[in-house]
């Protein structure tokens, strides 16, 4: 009887450990999946930043091509968008630099809390990228040749 209780307790503990590791792996996979999406968005954002930076550098050409534009105001808008893209890209770089996937010896709840926080941070970066990409895409449309 005592032997059965020990085996049952062992199996219960083993099953509980397995479930916690599964939960951790699942949440970590969600964080990494979001990270991959954000990385792709980062590339799109940086392409838009390059386009904006070229327009800023070639403001005289822009003035000739679009004489009705207030180049001073447009320049300010372009610099603002470019700066926001860079700020978001820096946030992503900082996150990647600070992310630590080594959970060795850490309790399950600590790992889950850490991963939940990381998912939240990447989600905020994702929102920032989506916003600035949408805004810069819309803004750059006015410079498309018709």
Per-residue pLDDT reduced to its tens digit, 17-36:
557 789 999 999 999 999 99
Residues 92-124: tens digit of each pLDDT = 999 999 999 999 999 999 999 999 999 999 999
- According to DSSP H, which parts of the chain are helical? 2-57, 59-65, 71-98, 108-140
- Residue whose token pair is 């392409």: 47
User: Can you give the pLDDT at residue 4?
Assistant: 66
Ordered by start, the domain boundaries in the chain are 21-143
CA–CA separation, 137 and 134 (whole Å)? 5
Question: What pTM value is reported for the model?
Answer: 0.80
Q: Which two tokens stand for residue 127?
A: 């929102």
Q: Which two tokens stand for residue 68?
A: 């009705």
């Amino acid at each position: 009887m005592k032997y059965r209780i020990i085996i049952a307790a062992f199996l219960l503990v083993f099953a509980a450990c397995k479930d916690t590791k599964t939960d951790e792996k699942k949440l970590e996979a969600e964080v990494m999946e979001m990270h991959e999406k954000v990385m792709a968005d980062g590339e799109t954002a940086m392409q838009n930043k390059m386009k904006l930076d070229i327009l800023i550098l070639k403001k005289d050409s822009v003035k000739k091509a679009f004489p009705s534009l207030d180049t001073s105001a447009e320049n300010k808008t372009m610099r603002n968008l470019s700066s926001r893209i860079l700020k978001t890209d820096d946030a992503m770089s900082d996150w990647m630099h600070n992310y630590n996937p080594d959970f060795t010896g850490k309790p399950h709840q600590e790992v889950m809390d850490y991963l939940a926080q990381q998912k939240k941070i990447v989600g905020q970066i994702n929102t920032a990228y989506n916003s600035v990409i949408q805004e810069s895409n819309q803004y750059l449309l006015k410079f498309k040749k018709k």
